[in-house]
Amino acid sequence: MFGILKDKLSKAIKSISEKFKEKEQEPKKEEPKPESVQSTVENPVEKIEAPIEKPIETPTEQLFPEPATIVTAPAIEKPTEKIAEEKPTLLKEETKPKPEKKEELKPVIITKKSEQIVKQVGILKPPEKKSFISKIFEKAVKTVTEKRIDEKDLLPVLNELETDLIDADVAIDVAERIKADLLKGLVGKEIRRGKESEEIVSAFRQSLLGILDVPQVDLEKLSDTKKPVVLLFLGFNGSGKTTSIAKIANFLKERGHSVVLAAADSWRAAAIEQLEEHADKIGVNVIKHNYGSDPAAIVYDAVEHAKAKGIEYVLADSAGRVHTNQNLMQELQKMVRVNKPDLKVLIIDSMTGNDALEQARAFGGIGVDAVIFTKVDVNEKGGAILSVTNELRKPILFLGIGQEYKDFEKFDAEKFVSRVLG
């Protein structure tokens, strides 16, 4: 059941998940280091050696193996001594500059290492101390890195999904709606590592449930406020209308409700006999006239019979209609006008594919109140359920899932979505 639609959605979920994983594997851009630091050493913190006590008084041969050069230059406030004395307060003292003192020129020994140390004095800051909690938090953030996906990354997958949905009998406007929902729900969203499929399935679920979010009808509670409840069944020839009427009659009778059938399909050969055969098996009565009789009058007699006998439900059959046959459509409108049914139930063969949407539109002028889909057990696509619901904005009462009377399942949107999403 719904195997093709399920496969198409699973394929899309997998493709989108892979897009998120590709994003995760992209190398992060490193921030450029400050020019001042790059101009001196690659990593000044690592290059600083332990403070040297009184380097000027130490013989050159012991402190530095390379030959020294003696030059005459202004005194530099004993930088090496300053490093040794002011280890903990280097930054603090630098923020409060002291007035320069004029001293006599003294010979200073400058080597490459000491020159490097002197240059670093004015640019280095002590490394920022981080608390133990801060370090743990940073490590945790790296562990659960969140990823964002761009629209340009997602569009190719969704464009392919749109085509696949149409192949699964989803109407074009419905496929476009699902695509728009996923763009809105996924683009720019932060998704934690390992949660890609879960979040994508959630986005699909919300979109599909939004399409199926229509006011529901509890068939059994209708008789609490009105008796009899009149249900008129509509549908094209071969949609499974008569069998569905029998299944609903059986459903209601098993739950303690009284039912009578109205054989208002007085045009199709053997239609009355077929309905009578079902009624005998279920154990309910049928109100019928001769072939060629006015269908509106047959339903009217069935309603009067139900009132006289205290019967709760009247289920009225009707001839299969084709929207191009204006006489049959006018006759159907007369049945509605005379009997004012409480529910006009459209029966649709789920195997008709995209034609299901055309059938729904054909009966739009009559005013459909609810829908039943038949032959769902052999339908591998399932897109028609989404298309018709989106078009009519009316509830689905039942799904026909077999030939037996018990093969009749109350429609549950959550269950349907779980089926197609796996």
Q: What is the pLDDT of residue 137?
A: 43
pLDDT at 139: 46
For residues 275 and 376, membership in a common domain is answered with yes
Q: Is residue 368 part of a domain?
A: yes
How many domains does the chain contain in total?
Answer: 3
At 247, phi and psi to the nearest 5?
-65, -40
In 3D space, the residue among 241, 224, 226 whose CA is nearest the CA of residue 306 turns out to be 226
Last residue of a domain, one of 167, 182, 211: 211
Give the model's pLDDT for residue 174.
94
Quick check: pTM over 0.75? no
Domain match, 234 and 361 both: yes
In whole angstroms, give the CA distance from residue 5 to residue 160: 14
Instruction: Judge if 274 and 176 occupy the same domain.
Output: no
Give every CB contact of residue 146 below 8 A, 6+ residues apart in sequence.
190, 191, 192, 193
Does residue 329 share a domain with residue 203?
no
28 to each of 18, 22, 147, 148, 204, how far by Cα in Å?
18, 12, 12, 13, 30
Q: What pLDDT is stored for residue 83 in this prediction?
A: 41
Confirm if 400 and 247 have CB atoms less than 8 A apart: yes
Q: Which domain holds residue 167?
A: 145-211
* pLDDT confidence of residue 73: 46
Question: Alpha-carbon distance 198 to 101, whole Å?
Answer: 70
409/273 same-domain check: yes
61, 165: one domain: no
Buried-exposed string 273-300: b where 16+ CB fall within 10 A, e elsewhere: ebbeebbeebebbbbbbeeeeebbbbbb
Beta bridge mates, 69: 110
Residue 66 shares a structural domain with residue 86? yes
pLDDT at 44: 43
Pairing, β 106-110 against β 146-147? unpaired
Pairing of strands 229-234, 408-410: unpaired
- Domain boundary, last residue among 211, 235, 256: 211
Are 219 and 395 spatial neighbours (Cβ–Cβ below 8 Å)?
no
Task: Give the model's pLDDT for residue 4.
Answer: 82
- The DSSP H or E segment spanning 73 is strand 69-73
In a domain, 89, yes or no: yes
pLDDT value of residue 363: 86
Looking at residue 161, which CATH number applies to its domain? Answer: 1.20.120.140
Residue 151: what pLDDT?
87
- Mean pLDDT per segment of 10 residues, for the chain of length 422 residues? 77 77 58 45 44 46 46 47 44 49 52 54 51 44 56 88 91 94 88 80 94 94 94 92 96 97 90 95 96 94 97 94 70 93 95 87 88 92 92 95 93 93 82
Token pair, residue 243, equals: 């069998």
Three-state DSSP string of 147-174: ECCCHHHHHHHHHHHHHHHHHCCCCHHH
Cα–Cα distances (Å) from 408 to 244, 247, 405, in that order, read: 8, 7, 7
Q: Quick count: other Cβ atoms within 10 Å of Cβ 211?
A: 20
**372: in domain:** yes
DSSP per-residue codes, 363-393: TTTT---EEEEE-GGG-S--HHHHHHHHHH-
**Judgement on whether residues 107 and 163 belong to the same structural domain of the protein:** no
Residue 421: is it exposed, middle or buried by C-beta count within 10 angstroms (0-12/13-18/19+)?
middle
- Using CA atoms, how far residue 208 sits from 54, 142, 368, 415, in Å, is 78, 34, 22, 11
Residue indicated by tokens 């339903």: 299
Instruction: Determine, yes or no, domain membership for 254.
Output: yes
Same domain for 237 and 331, yes or no, is: yes
Q: What CA–CA distance (Å, rounded) separates 346 from 370? A: 6
Residue 405 located in a structural domain? yes
- Does residue 138 form part of some domain? no
28, part of any domain? no
Q: Say whether both 340 and 361 belong to one domain.
A: yes
Find tokens 């006018």 and name the residue: 330
Same domain, residue pair 327 and 202: no
Distance CA 117, CA 40 (A): 10
Is residue 116 domain-shared with residue 182, that is, in the same domain?
Answer: no
pLDDT number for residue 310: 96
- Residue 271 and residue 243: Cα distance in Å, rounded? 11
The verdict on residue 132 lying in a domain is: no
The residue from 167, 192, 211 where one domain ends is: 211
| Residue 303 belongs to domain with CATH number | 3.40.50.300
- Written as six digits, the tokens of 191 are 């998704």
